[in-house]
Structure 1
Amino acid sequence: MGSVLIPLDGSEQSDRALAHATETIPTKSVTLMTVIDPSSGFSTGAGTPGAAEVWYESEKKRVKVRLSNAREQVETAGLEVETVVETGRPAPAIVEYATTHDIDQIVMGSHGRKGVSRLLLGSVAEAVVRRSPVPVTVVP
C-alpha cells in the first residue's frame, strides 16, 4: 500500500483513527492533515477589528502542536510522515487533497452524531466517504 491520509481535528475520534492507521494499515507513508475551517471556529468577537486574525493565528498554533504530537507517534511506528495544513471546509479539502496527491487510502474518525444533530451539523466523514476517489476507513 502507498500513502495513507489521516485527517486530524484534535478529537478523541481522530486520535483513535491515527492509532488504528499506524497499528493496522500496511503502509510506509502517512500524511497527517488538519483543515482549519474559519466558518466553524470563529464566532467570538465577531465584528471586533482583528478578531478573525487573532482566532486564526491561535488556531494555527494549536494545529502545529497537534501535528507535531501526531508526527512523533507516526515516526515512533517507523513510518514516513508528512504534515499538511489546509484552510477551508474539511470534507472538500480532504477529498481534493486525496484526489491531487498520491493517496491510496483515507483513515479518519467519526463523531458518531445521530438523528437531528447529524442532519443539522452534517458529517465530514460521511461526505468524504461519498466523494472520495480512494477507499475510506472510518474509525468510530
Structure 2
Amino acid sequence: MGKRILVPVDGSTQSREAWEFAAREHPEAEFVLLHVIDPTEAGYSAGASFPAASEEWYQHAKDDAEELLTELEAQSGTSAVVGTDTVVGKPSRAIVEYAEEHDIDRIVMGSHGRSGVSRILLGSVAENVVRNATIPVTVAR
C-alpha cells in the first residue's frame, strides 16, 4: 500500500489549495480529508450555554462539515482513494492525534496566515501541528 496522507480541511482557500497540492504532488497516495469541529467556535454567548442551542450549533457544524467533505471528495480530480472523517476538538491537537491513531504517513495542510493579536491569542494551527507531529508535515501557502 502507498502513502496515507492526511489533509485537514476547513473550507478556507488555503485548505482547498492544500488539498489540490496534495492530490497533484502525491497522485498514488491514499488520502484522508479531515474536518475538525472546534467546540470553542460555539462561543460563550448566553445562547451557547443552553443545551438546545449547543446541540443545534453542533448539528449545524456537523452538516456543514459533511457538505464540505462531500464537495472536496467529488472535486478531487484524482483516481486515488479518498476517505473523509470529522472529529471534534482543538484543531491542532485533533489533527496530530488523528494522524497517530490512523497510520498516516504525512500531513499536508494550508496555512491560515493569522497575524497580530489573533495569532498571539489563538496560535497557529499549522505551527502547532508542525511542532507536535511525529511525521512529516507540508504546509502549503
Calculate the TM-score normalised by the size of structure 2: 0.91
Inter-CA distance 4–49: structure 2 relative to 1 (3 Å threshold): closer
User: Is contact 2:7-2:18 (8 Å) kept?
Assistant: yes
1:36 corresponds to 2:20? no
Q: What is the match of residue 24 of structure 1?
A: 25
* Partner Cα separation in structure 2 for residue 120 and residue 139 of structure 1: 23
Match in the other structure for 1:59: 61
Amino-acid identity (%): 47
Change (3 A) 1:113 1:49: closer
Q: 2:114 aligned with 1:113, yes or no?
A: yes
Gaps of 5+ in 2: none
TM-align CA RMSD = 1.5
SS of structure 2 residue aligned to 1:103: coil
| 2-structure distance, mates of 1:108, 1:41 | 23
Local SS of the residue matching 2:49: coil
Change (3 A) 1:26 1:39: same
Maintained 8 Å contact 2:29/2:81: yes
Unaligned 5+ runs, structure 1: none
* Alpha-carbon distance, 1:47 to partner: 3.3
**Residue pair 1:4, 1:27 contacting (<8 A) in 2 also:** no
Q: Is the 8 A contact 1:3 1:27 kept in 2?
A: no
Tell me which stretches of 4 or more aligned residues in structure 1 moved more than 4 Å: none
1:73 Cα deviation after fit = 2.1
Deviation string for 1:31-73 (max 9, x for gaps)?
0000101112345522345100001001111101100011112
Instruction: Give the secondary-structure state (helix, strand or coil) at the position aligned to 2:75.
Output: helix
Q: For residue 10 of structure 1, report the CA deviation from its aligned partner.
A: 1.1
TM-score norm. by structure 1 comes to 0.91
- 1:25 and 1:130 mapped to 2: Cα distance? 23
State the one-letter code of the partner of 2:56.
Answer: V
1:46 match: secondary structure = helix
